[in-house]
């Protein structure tokens, strides 16, 4: 549907922070429809365990689309055990070339504790240069805050929590109700 015919789902800030041998993925809980908050405690960060692997994924965008992508990612992980990068690349290739998947409106941050990636519908699998990745409506605010906090004494979880608090103060589509998953590399 076009933006004019439907006010659109907005909201979500997801951040991934790698520091001190740990990766933290945190996401806010707000789901908005137009200018209305529909839910404040949505869980947009999930732990996946296909084939005994431990992977954490956070999503921004349409919830149904994100769940479709998470299911596809789990399938790719089962086919390539222990190879998150390969699974992410295979998902991105499918997402870019499959006519059904091309219509999906979501982005993912995924980690296995060692690697951290952003996966997009444009076929991108991006690894952040500064050990911080963020997506969603408040992603740029959280990213800037986290990058500023990375040089201090805070651990990965504290950086993620503080960056998310800053994003929630600035972005009207982001709240302070967090889901936080920590994974070691």
* Positions marked active-site: 12
* Angle at the Cα of 63 from the Cα atoms of 59 and 68, rounded to 5 degrees: 85
Could you tell me the CA-to-CA distances from 40 to 23, 27, 31, 36, 112 in Å, in that order? 25, 12, 6, 11, 27
Which pairs count as long-range contacts for 1-8, CB under 8 Å and 24+ apart, including other chains? Answer: 7/33, 7/34, 7/35, 8/33, 8/34
Q: How far apart are CA 134 and CA 67, in angstroms?
A: 19
Tokens at 163, concatenated: 């960056």
Q: How far apart are CA 172 and CA 122, in angstroms?
A: 26
* CA dihedral of residues 67, 172, 179, 29 (deg, nearest 10): -60
* Strand partners of residue 13: 136
């Amino acid at each position: 549907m076009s933006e004019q015919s439907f006010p659109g789902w907005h909201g979500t800030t997801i951040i991934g922070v790698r520091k001190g041998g740990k990766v933290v993925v945190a996401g806010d809980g707000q789901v908005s429809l137009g200018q209305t908050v529909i839910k404040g405690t949505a869980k947009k960060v999930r732990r996946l365990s296909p084939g005994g692997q431990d992977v954490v994924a956070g999503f921004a965008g349409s919830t149904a689309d994100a769940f479709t992508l998470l299911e596809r990612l789990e399938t790719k992980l089962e086919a390539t055990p222990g190879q998150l990068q390969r699974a992410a690349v295979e998902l991105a290739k499918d997402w870019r070339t499959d006519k059904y998947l091309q219509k999906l409106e979501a982005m993912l941050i995924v980690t296995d504790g060692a690697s951290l990636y952003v996966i997009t519908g444009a076929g991108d699998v991006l690894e952040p240069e500064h050990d911080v990745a963020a997506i969603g409506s408040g992603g740029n605010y959280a990213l800037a805050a986290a990058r500023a906090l990375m040089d201090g004494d805070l651990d990965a979880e504290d950086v993620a929590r503080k960056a998310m608090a800053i994003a929630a103060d600035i972005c009207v589509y982001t709240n302070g109700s967090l889901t936080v998953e920590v994974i070691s590399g």
